[in-house]
């Protein structure tokens, strides 16, 4: 018999209540029949499914365009990897026409809404036909926004397009045409790590930008920035790229007065402190772009303590000279520099002590508080208050001094151990020598070694 009693009972249930034949050979025959039927059913399902797929692919558009010159057949190939195709859309869903007609004129019948290649002006409406239709978009991606065309109209691109400028970016300039991918697809031209390059294709082109009188070095500058480093080197997709500051569909340069709001999206603490600082009012009056005045915009470098002082690399001295602000900058710069140097010294000393085999992990852990305090004080630079920064740095300085002393103690302890060892070894060797002499003394007198 095959299986346990329970297993046999369950097999009977599977065979719709019919009892299994008693012999194993009969059971095998029946199993072969059942498996054959199941295999045929599966095959039938896949044949049906593939016929449905091939129906899409064998529209008259595809049949004819596949055979044409590369300019006209390329869209057929690139559409294979398009997100729209994966959602079940075909050529006629955007271009109109009748894909069931083999005759060219009938297939491209304008009465069927046929549009061959939309002009730049037509493109936003062309895409917006679906993308601005909330009811329609819900069927494909309920979370996708449907205001892109509206936003686009507010962008510099959109405004210039409305004025008849055919050279400005439209939907297809950024998203591509027939090989459009979802923005979270790493192959997409608008994937976070690809956005800057996509924008740079036009904005990095000197000839293209010349008529507009705007710079064309933003992409190059951005590539050297702290943000690009985070995005490209650390693969941090949350690091800002072009659209995070300029917007995407509503792309426009943030005005000088709103830059702080843009940066403050991520650097909220710094923005908050700056708003309350004595710099806020004069910056507004002078129409200085708040954050970018000190940090620049596209090529933002990692901030350094020297930026806050009055020495080389200082940004304060570009406005302050022999005034109260200059003195404050001097104090802030020296305070930050002193604490930072002390922390580095303590770290270096503790590292050396650790390499020498001393246990300093407690001090190393404790020193983190000093580093945290320094980081907080660096943020407080946006208050422009030397007193407040000094107050924040005092515990950090005390901590670094204490842990530097711990490193020094480790070395004095090490030196004590080495000296102690030297003394002990002298004593130990002396003792061993004494015992040796004792042995010689014993063995030289009576005949202690017998034969």
> Please, which residue, 134 or 425, has the CB nearer to another protein?
425
CB 415, min distance to another protein, A = 11
> Does residue 141 touch another protein according to CB under 8 A?
no
Give the range of 182-190, 305-313, 384-392, 418-426 binding another protein by CB under 8 A: 418-426
Quote the CA–CA distance of 4 and 194 in Å, as a whole number. Answer: 61
Residue pair 343/371 in contact by the 8 Å Cβ criterion? yes
> Does residue 444 touch another protein according to CB under 8 A?
no
> Does residue 429 touch another protein according to CB under 8 A?
yes
Of the candidates 3, 113, 278, 420, which one interacts with another protein according to CB under 8 A? 420
> Does residue 145 touch another protein according to CB under 8 A?
no
> Does residue 412 touch another protein according to CB under 8 A?
no
Q: Nearest 5°: CA angle at 20, between 4 and 27?
A: 90
Taking CA atoms, 235 is separated from 141, 277, 300, 394, in Å, by 27, 34, 18, 36
Residue pair 174/190 in contact by the 8 Å Cβ criterion? yes
> Does residue 415 touch another protein according to CB under 8 A?
no
> Does residue 358 touch another protein according to CB under 8 A?
yes
DSSP annotation of 300: P
Quote the CA–CA distance of 281 and 288 in Å, as a whole number. Answer: 10
Nearest to 214 by CA among 162, 284, 150, 167: 167
Q: Token match 């405004």: residue?
A: 159
Of the candidates 7, 184, 220, 359, which one interacts with another protein according to CB under 8 A? 359
> Please, which residue, 206 or 449, has the CB nearer to another protein?
449
> Does residue 312 touch another protein according to CB under 8 A?
no
Quote the CA–CA distance of 171 and 371 in Å, as a whole number. Answer: 47
CB 235, min distance to another protein, A = 20
Give the range of 166-174, 334-342, 356-364, 376-384 binding another protein by CB under 8 A: 356-364
Tally of CB atoms within 10 A around 55: 12
> Does residue 368 touch another protein according to CB under 8 A?
no
Taking CA atoms, 171 is separated from 17, 127, 161, 305, 329, in Å, by 62, 8, 12, 43, 48
> Does residue 69 touch another protein according to CB under 8 A?
no
> Does residue 405 touch another protein according to CB under 8 A?
no
Residues lying near another protein in the complex (CB under 8 A) are found at: 357-359, 361-362, 417-418, 420-421, 424-425, 428-429, 431-432, 435-436, 438-439, 442-443, 448-451
């Amino acid at each position: 018999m095959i299986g346990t009693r329970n297993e046999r009972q369950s097999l009977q249930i599977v065979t719709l209540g019919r009892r299994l034949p008693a012999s194993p050979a009969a059971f095998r025959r029946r199993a072969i029949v059942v498996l054959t039927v199941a295999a045929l059913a599966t095959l039938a399902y896949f044949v049906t499914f593939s016929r449905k797929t091939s129906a899409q692919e064998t529209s008259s558009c595809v049949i004819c365009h596949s055979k044409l010159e590369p300019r006209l057949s390329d869209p057929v190939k690139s559409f294979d990897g398009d997100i729209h195709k994966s959602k079940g859309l075909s050529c006629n869903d955007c271009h109109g026409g009748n894909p069931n007609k083999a005759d060219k004129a009938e297939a491209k019948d304008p009465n069927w809404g046929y549009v061959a290649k939309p002009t730049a002006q037509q493109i936003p409406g062309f895409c917006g036909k679906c993308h601005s239709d909330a009811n329609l978009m819900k069927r494909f991606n309920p979370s996708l926004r449907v205001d892109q065309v509206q936003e686009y109209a507010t962008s510099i691109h959109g405004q210039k397009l409305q004025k008849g400028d055919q050279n400005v970016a439209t939907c297809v300039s950024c998203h591509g045409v027939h090989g459009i991918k979802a923005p979270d697809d790493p192959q997409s031209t608008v994937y976070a790590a690809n956005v800057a390059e996509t924008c740079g294709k036009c904005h990095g082109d000197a000839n293209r930008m010349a008529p507009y009188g705007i710079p064309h070095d933003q992409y190059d500058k951005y590539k050297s920035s702290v943000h690009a480093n985070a995005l490209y080197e650390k693969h941090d997709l949350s690091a800002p790229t072009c659209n995070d500051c300029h917007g995407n569909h509503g792309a426009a340069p943030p005005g000088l007065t709103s830059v702080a709001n843009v940066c403050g999206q991520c650097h909220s603490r710094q923005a908050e402190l700056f708003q309350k600082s004595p710099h806020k009012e004069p910056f507004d009056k002078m129409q200085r772009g708040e954050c970018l005045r000190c940090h620049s915009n596209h090529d933002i470098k990692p901030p350094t303590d020297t930026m806050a002082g009055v020495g080389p690399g200082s940004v304060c001295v570009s406005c302050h000279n022999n005034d109260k602000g200059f003195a404050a900058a001097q104090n802030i710069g020296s305070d930050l520099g002193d604490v930072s140097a002390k922390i580095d010294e303590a770290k270096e000393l503790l590292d050396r002590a650790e390499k020498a085999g001393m246990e300093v992990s407690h001090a190393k852990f404790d020193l983190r508080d000093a580093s945290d305090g320094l980081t907080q004080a660096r943020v407080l630079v946006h208050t422009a208050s030397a007193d407040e920064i000094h107050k924040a740095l005092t515990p950090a300085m005390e901590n670094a001094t204490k842990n530097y002393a711990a490193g020094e103690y480790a070395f004095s302890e090490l030196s004590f151990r080495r000296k102690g060892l030297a003394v002990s070894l002298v004593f130990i060797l002396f003792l061993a020598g004494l015992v040796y002499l004792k042995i010689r003394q014993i063995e030289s007198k009576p005949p202690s070694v017998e034969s």
